[in-house]
Amino acid sequence: LNSRVNELTQQYESEHSRVLSLERTKTQLTGQLHELQMQLDSCQVENMEMKQDLKSAKTQLAEIEAILEESQTEEAATRSKNSVLQKELSAVKAWKADNEPKIIALEKDCRQASEKVRELTDANASLTKEADSLEDAKVRLEREREALKQNIADLEETVQGVETLNYGLSGIGDEWVLEDAYWNQHNSQRTIENLNSAFDELEAKHRTETARWKKKLESTIVEFEKEIHGLKDERDDALKAAHDSEDQCVHLLAELEEINHSLEEANSALQLSENRRQTLSEEVETLRLQAEASERSRRKAESETSDALNRISELTSQVNSLTAERRRLEGDLAVAQGDLEDLIGSREVNEERIARLQADVARLTADLQAEQGISRRADSSRRQLETELRDANARLTAANNTAEEAEKEARRQTNAMEAKVRDLELALELEAKKLREAQIMLRKNERSLKEVSQAAEEERNMAAQLRELLERGQSKLKATRRQAEEAEAATAAAMSKLRKTQEQLEEVELRATMAERRANQLASANAAAAATAAAANAETGSQYGSLKASPYNRLRATSAAREGSTFSLASTDNYFPSRRARRTAFLHDPSDRESAMTDLDLPSCH
């Protein structure tokens, strides 16, 4: 019995130690279950985050698709604008090709006009030189006129002296008077003939010169008018072409500004799409990293769940062993109760030992009841653990299923996003290529527009030069017309002066005839008075013989010749025709003028 009690006590201690170990394992399992629950919660949170990331990725993909559609529409607009610009550029090139012969003709006309202007400038220079020579001739004639005035004044003084001598020598013989009258008449006739011949020559030369200058001026005026009409027509054509080219240039510049603005907008949109593509690529990378992290966390959760399952299997095996051990203990207790019942039969023999054994048995039964309560609690906790393990397994399976579905969905969406990103990258590369081509075409268009604008600027400059040449030609034409009018006025003045000289010559002829008549009258009067004044004449003749060779007599002869050429000897009227300052309109050559002055054969005053 003592050995049996010892065995029972040992079994009790072993069972108690097993129960304690079971409680420790229970606490460990509960802690592991809490950890698994926390891991499941974290997996659910991660799944929610993955779902939110997928939703955000879907929204971003929708935005990228919208941006791609906008970029496609902008590309279509840029293509249409590029086609319009190409059409306009071809139209500009065609216009340039059509107007190129006109431009070449305008350049030729400008060169011809410049040559004509040079010729006109040369002609103007020659006319100015001739005008200067005429002014010099005018100055020389004025000087000669002043010299002639001085000679006339000297002659008037000598005439006055001769008149005083005539009063003193009124009684001189008729032969001297007749001789003086004859010489006066001869000198006057010779001077009149010389003057008539000189004036005829001057008039013929003046008429030929005026006719030549008139024809030349008329021809030059007609040529100038024709050239002016041609230059006006060319100027109008050039102005029209310049205005058309200016309008075309303004239109092209406006279109170029619009194209530049659209290019700037396209570049900004491309920059925005590039930035969005970069952000999307970064987001895709982050999604990839998150997918990899979720994959790692899933694998970790799977490993942890496998570990938990292994632990649960171990715990279930331990619980099964504990239940088997409890059943064995229950069997042992039943055997012990049978033994106790057998021992009760022999209670009378060993009452003292039974009393002690009863106390021990009561204590052991209490302990067994406590152990049974503990085992019941262990069974209940085992059942709870089993239920919790079933729930954990269900949750783990659900989490695994959701993780697998999320992983599959994430992989599918990541694959779709990668495909869309590749498509977007290809579309962006195509857009970049198209934009580069459009930029190249725009640069070509800009170069062609610059060439057209330069050609238009050259046409404007040519038109401005033509305007300046026309203005200069008109001014020179006005100057030539003014010079022609001045020449006509000078010719008219010369003709009027010629008429005045002719009238003066007629007056001189009349005075010469009157002087001849008076000389004849004096001769008849002297012949009648010759008989009465013979003695006085003889006495005065001797005195006159002594004075015949004197310088005063020579001076009287020359003054008489001069007087006969201009005034009458017997005229008491001091006739001095008024001479006004006049301009010379003929005798351009000084040699002709000197020959004309020599043909006059005027007596010198020295």
Q: How far apart are CA 545 and CA 450, in angstroms?
A: 109
Contact criterion met (CB below 8 Å) for 171 and 536:
yes
pLDDT at position 228 is 65
pLDDT, tens only, 32-58: 777 777 877 777 787 787 778 777 777
- Give 3-state DSSP helix, strand, coil % of the chain, rounded to 5: 90, 0, 10
pLDDT at position 542 is 52
Q: How far apart are CA 528 and CA 105, in angstroms?
A: 97
Residue 183, SS3?
helix
- Among residues 517, 511, 499, the alpha carbon closest in space to that of 564 is found at 511
Tokens representing 389 are: 């393990």
- What residues have CB less than 8 Å from 16, skipping those under 6 apart? 371
- What residues have CB less than 8 Å from 516, skipping those under 6 apart? 181, 185
Tokens representing 201 are: 């020559």
Q: How far apart are CA 13 and CA 21, in angstroms?
A: 12
Q: Which amino acid is at 583?
A: R
Q: How far apart are CA 34 and CA 15, in angstroms?
A: 28
pLDDT at position 559 is 42
pLDDT at position 62 is 76
Tokens representing 136 are: 């010099």
pLDDT, tens only, 130-139: 767 777 776 7
- Among residues 426, 155, 428, the alpha carbon closest in space to that of 271 is found at 428
What DSSP string runs through 245-257? HHHHHHHHHHHHH
- Among residues 374, 126, 416, 107, the alpha carbon closest in space to that of 284 is found at 416
C-alpha distance across the termini of the chain, in Å: 206
The pTM score is 0.28
Residue 601, SS3?
coil
Q: The dihedral of CA 140, 141, 146, 150: what is its sign? A: positive
- Among residues 586, 557, 535, the alpha carbon closest in space to that of 186 is found at 557
Q: Which helix or strand (DSSP H or E) is residue 365 part of?
A: helix 351-528
Q: How far apart are CA 277 and CA 271, in angstroms?
A: 10
Q: Which amino acid is at 169?
A: L
Q: The dihedral of CA 293, 299, 302, 308: what is its sign? A: negative
What DSSP string runs through 513-565? HHHHHHHHHHHHHHHHTTTTTHHHHHHHHHHHHHHTTSHHHHHHHHHHHHHHH
Q: How far apart are CA 253 and CA 506, in angstroms?
A: 83
Ramachandran region, residue 444 (left: φ > 0; alpha: ψ -120 to 50; beta: rest): alpha
**Side-chain half-sphere of 427: how many Cα atoms within 13 Å?**
20
Contact criterion met (CB below 8 Å) for 315 and 385:
yes
Low-confidence ranges of the chain (pLDDT < 50): 544-590, 592-606
- Among residues 596, 587, 606, the alpha carbon closest in space to that of 194 is found at 596
CA 195 to chain centre: 77
- In which residue are the tokens 């060779």 written? 549
pLDDT at position 553 is 46
Q: How far apart are CA 143 and CA 597, in angstroms?
A: 13
Cβ neighbours around 271 below 10 Å, total = 10
Give the DSSP letter of residue 602: P
Q: How far apart are CA 84 and CA 88, in angstroms?
A: 6
Burial group, residue 302, by CB count within 10 angstroms (0-12, 13-18, 19+): middle
CA 585 to chain centre: 59
Q: How far apart are CA 378 and CA 323, in angstroms?
A: 10
